[in-house]
Chain A
Amino acid sequence: MKKEQLLDLYHQMVLIRRVEERGAELYQAGKIGGFMHLYIGQEAVSTGLIAAREPRDRVITAYRDHGVAINCGIPADQVMAELLGKATGMSKGKGGSMHMASVEKNMWGGHAIVGGHLPIAAGLALGDQYAKNDNVTICMFGDGATNIGYFHEALNLAKTWGLRVLWVCENNVYGMGTSVERASAVSEIRQKAEGYAMKNSRVEGMDVLKVYEAAKEAIEYVRTESQPYLFEVTTYRYRGHSMGDPERYRKQEEVKKWQESDPIGIFRKHLTEKKTATAKALDEIDASVEEEVNKAVEFAESSPEPAMEDLFTDIYTE
């Protein structure tokens, strides 16, 4: 990967973290409502994964979607505006935190029913198969989504019909507050692909370059073989499941241990050790992100509320 690309990945990861840290503050201040699920700690997963796609490859994810939206190229302005429910958000303030999307950026949501978007992902790939192109659909979900029926119907259909879906399970150890061991018959989620004779692998997800390399290979397989693939990425979220999480299910030592392998720290170390960038150059990126996020917050706060008549727009297309 070229230097510019590497620095771009670093920029994306820092941007996700700062956008979410500011989002958390705005949530505490009562400016963001509803549920908000932070991606902090997991930035390497979607950053590495989405860097490995072609622009024509589709991305669809669950409700922990701010990072994915940023990686897909949705400007921080629009992410922040959607969080604040403003008319300038990408879903015009009608979707909120859990429903970020952009057809232009090939980002198909932001879906809030656990596992519910998996059959839809199979459908996106079905649409591409019907159109006889070789686009890949990258479908991200948590470990918790692999215990519900949707997952199994979607994997079975994808394998039976040869749909080009890269199923990406972000195994962050907990489905809400219930650990994988307490909820899933197998602790390695990738094993679930075996029942569908589906190729699979498990990769460590705190290192963005490891994720990128493995995802590149997996996407290539899906595209050329016209077969789905289950790609499990192990990771950890540093914040609660959502903003209102008492975190009684885990010990702070556990969080601290995972924070030692902070994805941004690991990547920073890599970049300086390989002399891709100096610490000063990375500090400058950090500072530019700070500025970018300030602008995004300013943009969102000064944006108009949706008009009252928008309550009744877009129920139907006609």
Chain B
Amino acid sequence: MAKITMREAISQALMEEMDRDPAVFIMGEEVGLWGGTYAVTKGFYDKYGPDRVKDTPIAENAIIGGAIGAAMVGQRPIAELMTINFAFSAMDYIINQAPKLHYMFGGQFRVPMVIRAVGGGGRQLGATHSQTPDAIFAHFPGLKVVSPGTPEDAKGLLKSAIRSDDPILFIEHATMYQVRGDVPDEEYLIPIGKSKVQREGKDVTIVTYCKGLELSMKAADELANDGIEAEIVDLRTLRPLDMEPVLESFKKTNRAIVVEEGWKSYGVGSEIVSRIYEEAFDYVDAPIIRVAQKEVPLPYNRTLEQAALPQVPDIVAAVKEVLK
């Protein structure tokens, strides 16, 4: 085991897969000469050259549409969106083309493409650059949506994503590139579509993913000081959604909260809560609470922005509420 950052984990996954399979290449804004706006692809341009690390125009439709076409004829492009907020400029490709092509043409086409996109708030970038719109993308059958919360998961899931023949949106969080964690020394893959218990506990279930995992782990430490043992289930993949570990945990604790950074309305939490009520209603001992972003466009001002984003004390309070 080595302790590495999220940035290093993602970078290693990309490099290992590029070394393994010549069909894998990267395209996006500033991925090459610049080295990636979040420095994930630093050094790649020198190592692999401009054919495999392609700097694109600032043209999201060309980036994602182009990647889809290249994938259809057998390449394995990794298209990078500088931020997930720019995904809206290429929405037709992400939700209306890539997820439909296999099904709509009777299985004739395959789109082995990964879209890497950086999301999340907390960096004072204002309302248009700070969103966590993951739930929107998870709405569409045919797309796989992955969003890891640890370096180990990020590396193993990204490698699986690159090897998959389906289009995958891989969502990273802008404030988590320095998060450190243990990663196996030997090569490994983590299957897409499997939730994971990241911390065991018997009193309450916290269902979360990505940034929510980081916050929930801190909250669980605080709760432990008060004698409350929280079990944390990390979704890791939003579609296809693996409810098994969630339901298993809930049937043990009978109480749950859901933590996500996106807005509460029509969000990931709404889906999880519905599924628990539909599939484990007899086990419900208390109303399930959603901890999520306040229903406002994120403001620039740091104090206001932090007030809008879910925080550790919000999670602690929600857990105590469901345990009342």
Cβ < 8 Å to A, chain B residues 80-98: 92-93, 96-97
B74 interface neighbour in A95, A127, A150, Cβ under 8 Å = A127
Residue-wise interface mask of A (256-269) relative to B, using a CB-CB cutoff of 8 A (1 in contact, 0 not): 00000000000000
Instruction: Take A116-B96, A124-B72, A157-B56 as given contacts and tell me if A318 and B104 are in contact as well, using a CB distance cutoff of 8 Å.
Output: no
Residues of A near B101 (CB, < 8 A) are: 109
A52 CB within 8 Å of chain B: no
Which of B39-47, B63-71, B194-202 lies at the binding interface? Answer: B63-71
Residue-wise interface mask of B (22-62) relative to A, using a CB-CB cutoff of 8 A (1 in contact, 0 not): 00010000000000000000000000000100001101011
**Pair A101/B108 contact, Cβ less than 8 Å:** yes
Instruction: Take A92-B106, A123-B69 as given contacts and tell me if A130 and B62 are in contact as well, using a CB distance cutoff of 8 Å.
Output: no
Taking CB as reference atom, which chain B residue is nearest A110?
Answer: B105
Instruction: Take A113-B96, A122-B62, A156-B57 as given contacts and tell me if A131 and B107 are in contact as well, using a CB distance cutoff of 8 Å.
Output: no
A46 CB within 8 Å of chain B: no
Instruction: Take A119-B62, A130-B75, A160-B57 as given contacts and tell me if A317 and B110 are in contact as well, using a CB distance cutoff of 8 Å.
Output: yes
B141 CB within 8 Å of chain A: yes
Instruction: Take A116-B97, A156-B62, A315-B142 as given contacts and tell me if A123 and B105 are in contact as well, using a CB distance cutoff of 8 Å.
Output: no
Residues of B near A130 (CB, < 8 A) are: 25, 51, 70, 75
Taking CB as reference atom, which chain B residue is nearest A150?
Answer: B61
A219 CB within 8 Å of chain B: no
Residues of A near B97 (CB, < 8 A) are: 113, 116, 120
A154 CB within 8 Å of chain B: yes
* A318 vs B56: C-alpha distance when bound (angstroms): 31
A231 CB within 8 Å of chain B: no
Give the dominant DSSP class at A's interface: mixed
Taking CB as reference atom, which chain B residue is nearest A102?
Answer: B108
* A150 vs B61: C-alpha distance when bound (angstroms): 6
Q: Which one of B70, B71, B75, B142 has the greatest number of beta carbons of chain A within 10 Å?
A: B70
A118 CB within 8 Å of chain B: yes
Question: Closest Cβ of chain B: how far from A77's Cβ, in Å?
Answer: 15
Taking CB as reference atom, which chain A residue is nearest B60?
Answer: A153
Residues of A near B59 (CB, < 8 A) are: 153, 156-157
A-B pair count, CB < 8 Å, reads 138
Residues of A near B72 (CB, < 8 A) are: 108, 120, 123-124, 127
**Pair B70/A94 contact, Cβ less than 8 Å:** no
Residues of A near B142 (CB, < 8 A) are: 315-316
Question: Closest Cβ of chain A: how far from B74's Cβ, in Å?
Answer: 6
B280 CB within 8 Å of chain A: no
B172 CB within 8 Å of chain A: no
Residue-wise interface mask of B (103-135) relative to A, using a CB-CB cutoff of 8 A (1 in contact, 0 not): 111111110000000000000000000000000
**Pair B69/A121 contact, Cβ less than 8 Å:** yes
Taking CB as reference atom, which chain A residue is nearest B52?
Answer: A130
* A78 vs B239: C-alpha distance when bound (angstroms): 34
Cβ < 8 Å to B, chain A residues 88-119: 89-95, 99, 101-103, 108-110, 113, 116, 118-119
Instruction: Take A94-B106, A131-B74 as given contacts and tell me if A113 and B92 are in contact as well, using a CB distance cutoff of 8 Å.
Output: yes
Residues of A near B12 (CB, < 8 A) are: none
* A157 vs B55: C-alpha distance when bound (angstroms): 11
Give me the 8 closest cross-chain CB pairs, A-B, nearest first. Answer: A123-B69, A119-B65, A92-B106, A127-B73, A127-B70, A123-B66, A314-B107, A91-B106
11 pairs across A/B with beta carbons < 8 Å? A94-B105, A116-B65, A116-B97, A119-B65, A120-B66, A128-B73, A130-B25, A130-B51, A150-B92, A314-B103, A315-B141
Other contacts beyond A120-B93, A124-B72: 10, CB < 8 A:
A58-B73, A95-B105, A95-B106, A116-B92, A124-B70, A124-B73, A127-B73, A131-B74, A153-B59, A157-B56
Please list the residues of chain B having a beta carbon within 8 angstroms of any beta carbon in chain A: 25, 51, 56-57, 59, 61-62, 64-75, 92-93, 96-97, 101-110, 141-142, 144, 164-166, 240
